[in-house]
Amino acid sequence: MQSIANLLVIKMWFHRSFRADDWLLFVIVSPIAYNGRGFVTGEIFNRKGELVVTVTQEALLRTPKTPNSNTAAVSKL
């Protein structure tokens, strides 16, 4: 089953400087996904175990509508 996700809100808080080319751990938690909506939180830690970035994201999830057989496009070839 395919689904379509529309990202509603993405927020990032940078707590301290870090190098993007160094080792980073990204921990993601999805505390709720219900009624076509999803919410995810994430934390990015550096090599020392320090929290460097906090992320939140909210999304709207839908399954694509199938075209109505009466309105489907007809090839003219």
Count of domains observed in the chain: 1
Identify each DSSP E strand in 1-77 by its residue range: 4-14, 25-34, 37-45, 51-62
Which structure tokens are listed for 36?
């076509």
44 in any annotated domain:
yes
Calculate mean pLDDT across residues 25-46: 92
The CATH number that applies at residue 28 is 3.10.129.10
Taking the complete model, does pTM exceed 0.75, yes or no? no
pLDDT computed for residue 45 by the predictor: 98
Mean local confidence (pLDDT), 7-15: 89
Q: Has residue 70 been placed in a domain?
A: no
d(CA 47, CA 15): 15
Domain range for residue 27?
4-62
User: What are the backbone angles phi and psi of residue 66, rounded to the nearest 5°?
Assistant: -85, 140
Q: Does 29 reside within a domain?
A: yes
Q: What is the pLDDT of residue 6?
A: 76
Which residues are CB-neighbours of 54 under 8 A, at least 6 positions away? 12, 13, 15, 41, 42, 43, 44
